[in-house]
Amino acid sequence: MNRSILCLILFISISLYPSFSFPWQEDLKKGIEEYRAENFEEAFDLLYKARHENRESSVIAFYLGLVYKQTGDHDKASLYFKEAIDLKPPVVEAFGELIEMYYALNKNQEALEYIAKAETLRIEPAKISFLKGLVFLKLNKNLDAIRAFESAKKEDVNVTQAADLQIALAYAKERKVSKALKSLRSVISINPNSELGQFARDYELAYLKSIEAYKATRLSASLSYIYDTNVTAKPSSDIGLPPSNEKDSGFMGYFSLNYTPFSETDFLFTAQYSASGTFYHKLTDFNSIAQSFILSPGYNIERGSFTLPMTYVHNIVGGKGYMATLTVKPSFVYMLSQENFLSSYVGLSHRNMIQETFDPDEERDAKILSGGIGYMHSISEGKGILNLRYEYVIDNTKGANWKNKGSKFNVSLVSPLSERIDMLVSLEAYLQDYKNENTIFKVKRSDKSYNINAGVSIQVIKGLFVNTQIAYTRAQSNIPLYDYKKTIFTMGIESRF
């Protein structure tokens, strides 16, 4: 029902009260007059006085809600609109107003609850369907939102232009370019000179520019100074090894090439090549180079995505091939809300140690089975993320001395400190129990390793960053050879383009 018609009906009905009407009825009548004249302070005083005299009037509650809405107090407005529904007889127009307030307050579940009630009672179908679409759009349920806006158009042709604009926004979020543009052009064609038509024209131009600016290929390169207090992973206790200087400094380089083509469909694809190298000044036998190749097809669903990353990593140490690993890791990410996500994966890896081992019990070639679950929380409007992860790993090596099972716990946080400065902190614990008694040390090995990382990234200019990081590792083992600690400090520049 049009609000002006509602006001007129209520005004006439109050005017027809008999001459012996109660004082609160006169205050209500004058309060409505002041509200319609947009004298909200005067309207509030009169309505509040009427409310004090009669707390059972749904009409008084409704108009108090309207006044609070106009003055921007959505919390109090929602309380009075809810009362206008709960009191007898209910003001049916309060349903739409209450849903609007819940939407503005981000109380989306409460809004959906009253949307369901209004739909059951067939109250203002077009308005309720439109509001339903807005709530779904905020919840990132874009396809549900489109269906709701289409329903609103069927209920009332007068909302077609506004609904088509929202449908365009929903399709844009779904990366359905052609459908988004079609809806935008529909908005423009209905009334090119209207405010909505002008907005749609401006949005269309901006949207086309953003598509043209999309980069399918991204590059990243960095060069850093590194200082390592224990390059050789020298044991913490004296086990009779020859004295050595395990400290050294050097340089680290990194390069990555990422390709993610733009897709209007729900199918996903990413390909990446990366290479990194660490080169020491003195301990050159420990210089290392790692190259990785990743292919990751995937598929989007309404609230999540499936991906199938396939990764090949080749490591060189001291100028010789050291290790090659092939991993397949089916993964699933589910969106609980716009800020909260759950993830899970299972992985199967094949590890090949390139250099020969003379003792078969020390053979580390393996088939590795792993599985993990995680929780991610987006912070600072998507500029940062909190990540909690648990992994279970079964390392089934050929050699008896290296077969183990382990649990890995990880907490990481990326958070902006300012517009140009980001902070990174991560904590990891890896608890491993080995299956067999070690044939050399005659004891069943048990390891606990802990890693702490902290760093800062400063954006100097667009695409250029200065990164500083410190990493501490403490590896504890009941076999002294594998018990060590080390600290690595790095500082360098990174370019992303």
Q: What's residue 9's pLDDT?
A: 46
Report yes or no: 232 and 283 within 8 Å, Cβ to Cβ: yes
In angstroms, rounded to a whole number, what is the distance separating the alpha carbons of residues 116 and 271? 44
Q: What's residue 132's pLDDT?
A: 94
In angstroms, rounded to a whole number, what is the distance separating the alpha carbons of residues 168 and 178? 10
**Strand-pair category, 288-301 with 384-397:** unpaired
Domain with CATH 2.40.160.60 in the chain: 215-496
Report yes or no: 235 and 480 within 8 Å, Cβ to Cβ: yes
Report yes or no: 253 and 241 within 8 Å, Cβ to Cβ: no
Domain with CATH 1.25.40.10 in the chain: 3-212
- The length of the chain is 497
Using alpha carbons, list the distances in angstroms from residue 293 to 89, 272, 309, 325, 458. Answer: 68, 6, 10, 11, 28
Q: What's residue 270's pLDDT?
A: 93
Q: Within 13 A of 46's CA, how many CA atoms are on the CB side?
A: 19
Per-residue confidence of the chain (497 residues) as pLDDT tens digits?
Answer: 444 444 444 444 444 444 445 677 888 888 888 888 888 888 888 888 888 888 888 898 898 889 889 989 999 999 999 999 999 899 999 999 999 999 999 999 999 999 999 999 999 999 999 999 999 998 888 889 999 999 999 999 888 888 888 888 888 888 787 777 777 777 777 777 777 777 777 767 776 767 666 688 999 999 999 999 999 998 987 776 665 668 999 999 999 999 998 877 788 899 999 999 999 999 999 999 999 999 999 998 877 899 999 999 999 999 999 999 999 999 999 988 878 899 999 999 999 999 888 899 999 999 999 999 999 998 887 788 999 999 999 999 999 999 999 999 999 999 999 989 999 999 999 999 999 999 999 999 999 999 999 999 999 998 899 999 999 999 999 999 999 999 999 999 999 88
If residue 425 lies in a helix (H) or strand (E), which one and from where to where?
Answer: strand 421-437
Q: Report DSSP state, residue 1.
A: -
Sequence-ordered list of residues with C-beta below 8 angstroms from that of 125, at least 6 positions apart, any chain: 119, 151, 152, 155, 156
The number of beta carbons lying within 10 Å of the beta carbon of residue 285 is 12
CATH number of 215-496: 2.40.160.60
Class of domain 3-212: mainly alpha
**Bridge partners of 475?**
449, 484
Q: What's residue 207's pLDDT?
A: 67
pLDDT tens digits along 248-282: 999 999 999 999 988 777 888 999 999 999 999 99
Token representation of residue 449: 């390793």
Q: Report DSSP state, residue 241.
A: P
The alpha carbon dihedral of 190, 194, 196, 197 has a sign of positive
Report yes or no: 7 and 34 within 8 Å, Cβ to Cβ: no
Q: Report DSSP state, residue 186.
A: H
Report yes or no: 229 and 486 within 8 Å, Cβ to Cβ: yes
